[in-house]
Chains A and B, each alone.
Chain A
Amino acid sequence: MKKLLLLPVSWLLTLAANAQTTFPVNGVADPRSGCYAFINATIIKDPATTLQKATLLIKEGKVVSVGNGTPPADAVVIDCKGRFIYPSLIDIYSDYGISAPQRSSDAFDYTAPQQFSSATKGAYNWNQAIKSETNAADLFSTDDGKAQPLREMGFGTVLSHYKDGIARGTGVVATLSAKKENLVIIKERAAAFYSFSKGSSRQSYPSSTMGAVALLRQNYLDAQWYKTRPAKEGINKTLEAWNEQQALPQIFETTDKWAGLRADQVGDEFGVQYIIKGGGNEYQRIHEIAATKAPYILSLNFPDAQKVEDPADARFIAWKDLAHWELAPTNPATFEKQKIPFALTAADLKDPKTFWPNLRKAILAGLSAKTALEALTTTPATFLKIADRVGRLEPGYLANFLITNGELFAEKTTLLENWIQGERYDINAKNSTGLTGQYALRITGAGGVTEYQLEVKNNSLATVKTNEALTTKFSSDGNLVSISFSLKPTTKVIGTGQKDSVFENKQAGALIRLSGVNYGDSWQGVGANEKGLPVSWVATLTKTTAAGKDSARQVWEQPEARVVYPFSSYGNTRLPEQETILIKSATVWTNETGGKQEQTDVLVKNGKIAQIGKGIAAAGARVIDGAGKHLTPGIIDEHSHIAVFSINEGAQSVTSEVRIGDNLNPDDINIYRQLSGGVTTSQILHGSANTIGGQSQLIKLRWGADAEGLKFKGADPFIKFALGENVKRTTVTQGNNRYPDTRMGVYEVLNDAFQRARDYEKALKSGDKTIRRDLELDALVEILNHKRFITCHSYVQSEILGLIHIAEKYGFKVNTFTHILEGYKVADRIRQHGANVSTFSDWWAYKTEVQDAIPYNAALMQQLGLNVCINSDDAEMARRLNQEAAKTIKYGGVSEEDALKMVTLNPAKALHIDNRVGSIKVGKDADLVLWSDHPLSIYARAMYTLVDGAIYFNREQDREGRVQAATERNRLLQKMLSAGKNGAATVPAKPTAQVVLHCEEHEQSAGVLDVDAFDL
């Protein structure tokens, strides 16, 4: 037995020993040229060229010729009549031969102590997620167990890399041959890899998407700077490697359409065109993706149908997930249609067996077979600059090819053999060798000869027939055959609808057992009859039958779901457009000297307010009756955290390098919900986890626009600061180890940051070329130069005065104190400094520093002459900001018009955009809300919300949309159900998470599926 086991291993060793020159031979030399000629084949040389009845000649692992020539005498000739030969496939996104990164079991814990520096030992980068020094070629080792499933899928070559970190070093191109690594690696450093995910790094920075972007950006600059060999940096092997890798193809892994666009933008800043590994939902934003000109790598990992039988489960799956299930297979076809070059990969597939069915699904969804083949051969070869060696069958190319019994993508086609570097790997060769058909089975024993009919369906199913139904067990690997059947039929039928009943073995009677060898059209062997006596047997082919239909075939129905913008419930098939709109006879709250004007018309044209007055006529205008209704400027939320993928880069006390604008999420349903509450502009702020947070992003709520389209163009840049408890990490349960831990320390963090910024600026101005460009300090220098403005989260009077002191010391002004619940205590000092204030109406007692918060704060500060705003900091409350403003009437007696200004004109002033928005004035942006009632009344509902003169929310349309949405949901659920019934793989229902981000400030009532930022 031992000997038997050893056989295959020694066979492999022989091969390996055979190959390599420097390796001594233990025994007698066995040089072979591996010369084979495959004749009479249909050869697909490359996706565009097919040769009929052609010959492929290979030698020493390479293609010698492809054509019609006569094979040389020394070639082993293999007749491939009826066979097809294709170049073996290339997987550009593999980690074959690389051991998986060690990941810590527990996720990043926001409440745990932080890790400030890299745990990687050696002369490497400060940040553990930048691993450019990693070379997959150094880690690579062949692994036959993992190669086999890939070979079975049809792959011959892979680009393998270490899938860990933000910069991941280089990938290695290797074949899936079982030879020694030395011969398998065909390009040692073929591409450099990146992502936004820090992977196994436990270093706290970066802890957010925007932090990852900032880290990449700074690394490009650092690497450039490192070329000057700055003495202060010493040896940095990571930056050295980074620089060396820049000439290679640059591959960026993303998990989502927006991340792809984000990656491309980072690349553009540094003149790099990434090849982007997509997330599978790119079809939802294909025009933006096409505009980037980035090549893509697409996975065939399509979502499975979910188990939606129970409506209690189905309820928690959002339309976007249901529709994505239907549309995901259209992703490759959508790329083809847009002429975006892309490669396909088997990466991310949970089960390798789904590769071909999913690929066929993509083809059914519109992907052409030619492009599909290109995406698996020539395209990845071109991406990797190895198109002169793999991807097609040409003289001199590696002898990597597939032999099939039909066209590669046809459902009935079987992959028979996969030859890699001139060596044969059996996939299904034996199994498919003409087994199917009817055989005359003749058994000879002591009692004479018995004849049966044997019908073989495939290599594991056959039936022995006589007059009676018989139980048959059959198996064949194409060479060895084993048959057993009983003479005594049992009554229990297992299979239904089949002419020949098949029974379970244990239920059968005494068995006749046969074992033999397939010699082609006749099989022979020996066995034992039902009494255990020896017999011999022969089976002779009498009739061949066609291969049966693939029973696992899934029914493909063209998707009906439409791509809407954004891809969410309440998305629109077309973006709202600017219209000429006349709002008639409304009560118009102008916020201008005219104040509140009764029965007034407002004309909107080209996105602007064109005319205000009585009896305005405008031909062709869409008229909205405003009688009994109130028109106000759009609400401006000075403090918001919606529409982003991350909000806090809390890993360091100073992170002025991170930018909220780097990670906008235009799909956030809260954009739409807030439009329904009259919000038109929001300042998206970094959270309050650290003293100097990130750069803010002002957006207009243009529901459906992309990240760039959301941005409020031309606005002054802002930045978020924070003071007090959050910055001290008061709620950390396992002890804070991040400086500062007191307000004394917070003050010094500020003092230090601005001193460093001032020194940095001085050094830059002096023309010192050795200075490292520091994006963190750049932002602070902008503050010193009055080019960037601070919004500071602050509560108690001591810290308010502290920041004012810092600002005055360094000669700048704090633009806005936000939250500022003790602002009323030092309102005189804030006024003297000249800051704006933005506060909550009635929050208090949710932590120690808000013990003295009072709802009269806004009114008091206003009485002291400050520009007071009321903000939300809460995705829910933002849609009721008019009501929050109304509370200042109750608490402190603010006038109605002044109260409304606190959520319109005053934030516009604080954000330096009052020349554009905040009041109803001719020439200003037509950002307007038509309310059903007095806008400060709790009974008021926004009927229309306009942004730039386009209707983004229309309550009537919203109501109609709900009915359609319900119908569409039902259609998709029904389709999912029937897919499950028809045998499609299903997974348990997976609720769609609602990500609601906030600044570590308070508890929110955001529904049961609310996922906090820190959980992600």
Chain B
Amino acid sequence: MKRFIYIFLLFLAVPAMAQDDIYPAKKQTGTIIIHNGTIHTGTGLVIPQGTVIVKDGKIQKVGDRPENIAGATVIDAAGKHVYPGLILTSTDLGLREILSGVRGSNDYYELGDYNPDVRSVVAYNADSKVINTLRSNGILLANVAPSGRFLTGTSSVVQLDAWSWEDALYTADIGMFLNLPALFRSPRSSGSDPVKEDMKKIEALKAFFGEAKAYLKGTERRETNLKFEAMRPLFEQKQQLFINADISRQILMAIDLAKTFGIRVVIVGGSDSYLLADLLKQNHIPVILNSIHALPTMEDDDVDQPFKTPAILQKAGVLFALNDNEGSSRYRNLAFFAGTATAYGLSKEEALQAVTLNAARILGIENQTGSLEAGKDANIVIATGDILDMKSSVVTDALIQGRRIDLNNKHKQLYERYRHKYQLQ
């Protein structure tokens, strides 16, 4: 006990450590007015010196005129930019604390080929130290997905200011995740035809889907198959199948699955999606582009191919979102991917949309969030400058469901701790 107290005192003695004093905010009541900021609604609209009114967690109004409401909390956004909260569309956030070397810190990859019943959210660690570093870069929601070998389970959208996973849950089980086999002869493969081998795996998957569909139509059954039961929302189109697919053949197979089973499919990864843009558009298949700060697939490819893929999809009319799954920087550079897409052909507002409203649409939560529009949750970020450009992207305020969240994080705390050591002001 003595020891405990000692440690406790230590925390008091230096600027707060290890983020244990960063508290989730209380439910928002009353009115907040954000005024005088440049408002980027996420729908393509920019309102200079606009106003956002938040009431009881929801956006009540977005306008271009100053408002005065008695008793309202006022956030002065003069000279600042106001954005919808950014959304990570596919992530292992909260499931994977330390990428390598520490197996015990990881709960993201389950064993088995077919795990449709596995639910990521039950392992989501709302106290992960990574979470707060994302909030301070404007990311307020995340679609947490399980990994694994083949059919990996369901993802849920969480909001990033919570005491527990129950508390964090924003929309449960929105998507089922699937990894497609490589479907190509890798540089080192030899012997049997790897494409054929992979097609066999896909045939087996289709058989699984087929049996599940039949099982769900049946009425009387002696034994319950939890895996099949978990497939119901997918066949009822209440859930989408998120398919990790990069190369053309994988994407073609993903389209095939959508058609064969009448399910809604989202491509995740999509590095070759620019080659199939028209086909994706025709089949209404959205794409989540993983980290576009990537090298081109082939040395013959245009050196800036990953950077300009978003503009190609935009032009073709494909619904797409940008995603950050970059392990080393831990998903905090989402806004900058949108910045790069802007440098290579998107407009700034289109790029913003790719990390806000498009993301919400793909996740099926566009009625709740994704843009600054009346009636939606007040998920709002305020930055000192252009949030897409690192040189000006400092987030000063963020609201999740109207709650002003604490933007402190472990990094800021360590920064303060050592400024203290060196007596820097």
Chain A hits for B419, CB < 8 A: 860
Q: When the two chains form their complex, are residues A992 and B294 in contact, meaning their CB atoms are under 8 A apart?
A: no
Stretch with Cβ within 8 A of A (4 or more), from B5-13, B167-175, B328-336, B359-367:
B328-336
Residues of chain B from 397 to 425 with CB closer than 8 A to chain A in the complex: 410-412, 414-415, 418-419, 421-422, 424
Of B140-148, B149-157, B208-216, B297-305, the stretch lying at the interface with chain A is B297-305
Interface check A269, CB cutoff 8 A:
no
Q: Are B297 and A889 in contact (CB under 8 A)?
A: no
* Contact of B102 with A847 in the complex, beta carbons under 8 Å: yes
Cross-chain contact of A842 among B98, B291, B332 (Cβ < 8 A): B332
Chain A residues positioned under 8 Å from B187 (CB to CB): 990-993, 1009, 1011
On chain A, the residues within 8 Å of B392 by CB distance are 890
Q: Which residue of B lies closest to A846 (CB)?
A: B99
Decide: A854 near B411, CB < 8 A? Known: A939-B343, A1007-B271: yes
Contact string, B78-110, partner A, CB cutoff 8 A, digits 1/0?
000000000000000000011111100000000
Residue of B nearest to A851 (CB): B98
Q: Which residue of A lies closest to B297 (CB)?
A: A1007
Q: B388 at the A/B interface (Cβ < 8 Å)?
A: yes
By a CB distance below 8 angstroms, the chain A residues around B271 are: 1007-1008
When distances are taken between beta carbons in the complex, the residues of chain B under 8 Å from A669 are 299
Q: Give CA–CA (A927, B251) in the complex, Å.
A: 43
Chain A residue contacts of B333, Cβ below 8 A: 842
Shortest A728–chain B CB gap in Å is 10
B272 nearest CB across to chain A (Å): 8
Contacts of A876 in B (CB 8 A): 293-295
Min CB–CB distance B92 → chain A (angstroms): 12
Interface residues on A, range: 35 or more
- List, in ascending order, chain B residues with CB within 8 A of A933's CB: 343
Asked if residues B298 and A315 are in contact (CB atoms below 8 Å), the reply is yes
Measured CB to CB, the closest approach of chain A to B338, in angstroms, equals: 9
Contact A939 B247 (CB under 8 A): no
User: Complex Cα distance A827/B425, Å?
Assistant: 16
For window 270-315 of chain A, which residues contact chain B by CB distance below 8 Å? 312-313, 315
Interface of chain B residues 326 through 358 with chain A (CB within 8 A)? 326-330, 332-333, 336, 339-340, 342-344
Task: With both chains docked as a complex, state the minimum distance between the C-beta of B108 and any C-beta of chain A, in angstroms.
Answer: 13
Contact A848 B415 (CB under 8 A): no
Chain A: minimal CB distance from B101 (Å): 5
Query: B246 — which chain A residues lie within 8 A by C-beta?
Result: 1008
**Nearest chain B CB to A1008's CB is how many angstroms away?**
6
Min distance, Cβ B347 to any Cβ of chain A, angstroms: 12
Interface string of B312-335 (1 = CB under 8 A from A): 000000000000001111101100
| B-chain residues with CB within 8 Å of residue A993 when the two chains form the complex | 187-188
**Minimal Cβ-Cβ distance residue in A for B291:** A1005
> Which residues from 822 to 875 on chain A have a C-beta closer than 8 Å to any C-beta of chain B?
824-825, 827-828, 840, 842-848, 851-852, 854-856, 860, 863-864, 874-875
Binds B, one of A258-266, A400-408, A670-678, A741-749: A670-678
Q: How many Å lie between the Cα of A731 and that of B391 in the bound state?
A: 36
Q: How large is the interface on B (under 10, 10 to 19, 20 to 34, 35 or more residues)?
A: 35 or more
Are A958 and B339 touching (Cβ within 8 A)?
Answer: no
The majority secondary structure among interface residues of chain A is loop
The answer to whether B101 touches A848, judged by C-beta atoms less than 8 angstroms apart, is yes
Q: Is A1006 an interface residue (CB 8 A)?
A: yes
Asked if A754 is at the interface (CB within 8 A of a chain B CB), the reply is no
Residue-wise interface mask of A (643-678) relative to B, using a CB-CB cutoff of 8 A (1 in contact, 0 not): 000000000000000000000000001101100100
B394 in contact with A996 (CB, 8 Å): no
Compute how far the CA of A436 lies from the CA of B424 in the bound complex, rounded to whole angstroms: 100
Q: Is B249 an interface residue (CB 8 A)?
A: yes
B98, B299, B411, B418: the one contacting A846 at CB < 8 Å is B98
Query: Is A989 at the interface (CB under 8 A from chain B)?
Result: yes
- Interface assignment of B296: CB less than 8 Å from any CB of chain A: yes
Query: Is A860 touching B329 in the complex (CB atoms < 8 A)?
Result: no
Q: Is the CB of B390 within 8 A of A856?
A: no
Q: Which residues of A contact B193 (CB under 8 A)?
A: 988
What sequence of 0s and 1s flags, for each residue 280-297 of chain B, a beta carbon within 8 Å of any chain A beta carbon?
000000000011011111
Contact A890 B391 (CB under 8 A): yes
Binds B, one of A15-23, A196-204, A607-615, A880-888: A880-888
B332 and A938 form a contact (CB under 8 A): no
Known: A676-B304, A890-B394. A842 touches B340 (CB 8 A): no
Cβ–Cβ < 8 Å partners of A938 in chain B? 336, 339-340, 342-343, 388-391
Q: Which of A315, A845, A988 contacts B99 (CB 8 A)?
A: A845
- B132 CB to nearest A CB, Å: 12
Partner of B101, one of A318, A670, A731, A886: A731
* Chain A positions 696 through 725: 1 when the CB is less than 8 Å from some CB of chain B, otherwise 0: 000000000000000000000000000001
B-chain residues with CB within 8 Å of residue A1001 when the two chains form the complex: 328
Q: Are B343 and A940 in contact (CB under 8 A)?
A: yes
Q: Given the interface contacts A939-B342, A1008-B297, does A864 sit within 8 Å of B422 by beta carbon?
A: yes
A847 pairs with B295, CB closer than 8 A: no
Tell me if B295 and A969 are in contact (CB < 8 A): no
| Contact partner, B339, options A845, A889, A939, A991, Cβ 8 Å | A939
Give every chain A residue within 8 A of B336 (Cβ-Cβ).
Answer: 883, 938
Contact of B411 among A312, A856, A934 (CB under 8 A): A856
Q: Please tell me if A319 contacts chain B, counting CB pairs below 8 Å.
A: yes
By the criterion CB–CB under 8 Å, are A958 and B391 in contact? no
Contacts of A813 in B (CB 8 A): none
The docked-state distance in angstroms from the alpha carbon of A880 to that of B394 is 20
Interface residues of A in 967-1016 (CB under 8 A from B): 969, 988-994, 996, 1001-1011, 1015
A989 to B194, CA, bound (A): 12
Question: Counting CB contacts under 8 A, is A385 at the interface?
Answer: no
B293 adjacent to A877 (CB under 8 Å): yes
CB pair A1008–B389 under 8 Å, yes or no, is no
Q: Is the CB of B389 within 8 A of A670?
A: no
Interface set, chain B 94-146, CB cutoff 8 A to A: 97-102, 129-130, 133
**B415: contacting residue among A569, A672, A856, A864, CB under 8 A:** A856
Distance to closest chain B CB from A384 (angstroms): 35
Closest beta carbon of chain B to A897's beta carbon, Å: 12
**A841 and chain B: residue at smallest CB distance:** B329
Q: Is the CB of A845 within 8 A of B98?
A: yes
Contact A965 B300, CB 8 Å, known A864-B422, A993-B188 = yes
* Beta-carbon contacts under 8 Å, B380-396 to A: 388-394
Which residues from 560 to 592 on chain A have a C-beta closer than 8 Å to any C-beta of chain B?
A: 568-570
Task: Identify the closest chain A residue to B97 (Cβ).
Answer: A845
Q: Smallest distance from the beta carbon of A59 to chain B beta carbons, Å?
A: 51
A828 touches B302 (CB 8 A): no
Docked complex: A110-167 residues within 8 A CB-CB of B = none
**Roughly how many angstroms separate A860 CA and B417 CA in the complex, as a whole number?**
11
- Please name 28 pairs of A and B residues whose Cβ atoms are closer than 8 Å in the assembled complex, sorted by A: A312-B252, A315-B275, A673-B303, A842-B333, A844-B330, A844-B411, A845-B130, A848-B102, A876-B294, A890-B393, A890-B394, A891-B411, A933-B343, A936-B391, A938-B339, A939-B339, A940-B343, A990-B187, A991-B185, A991-B187, A994-B295, A1001-B328, A1002-B328, A1006-B295, A1007-B271, A1007-B296, A1008-B182, A1008-B297
Q: A320-B299, A825-B418, A890-B391 are in contact. List 15 more A-B contacts (CB 8 A).
A: A316-B298, A318-B298, A843-B328, A847-B99, A847-B101, A855-B411, A860-B415, A860-B419, A890-B390, A938-B343, A939-B389, A993-B187, A993-B188, A1001-B328, A1005-B293
User: A residues touching B (Cβ–Cβ < 8 Å)?
Assistant: 312-313, 315-316, 318-320, 568-570, 669-670, 672-673, 676, 725, 730-731, 824-825, 827-828, 840, 842-848, 851-852, 854-856, 860, 863-864, 874-877, 880, 883, 886-887, 889-892, 896, 899, 933-934, 936-941, 958, 962, 965, 969, 988-994, 996, 1001-1011, 1015
Pairs of residues from A and B, 10 with the lowest C-beta to C-beta distance, nearest first = A993-B187, A938-B339, A1005-B294, A669-B299, A1007-B297, A856-B415, A846-B99, A854-B411, A843-B328, A569-B300
Interface residues of B (CB under 8 A from A): 97-102, 129-130, 133, 182, 184-188, 193, 246-249, 252, 271, 275, 290-291, 293-300, 302-304, 326-330, 332-333, 336, 339-340, 342-344, 388-394, 410-412, 414-415, 418-419, 421-422, 424
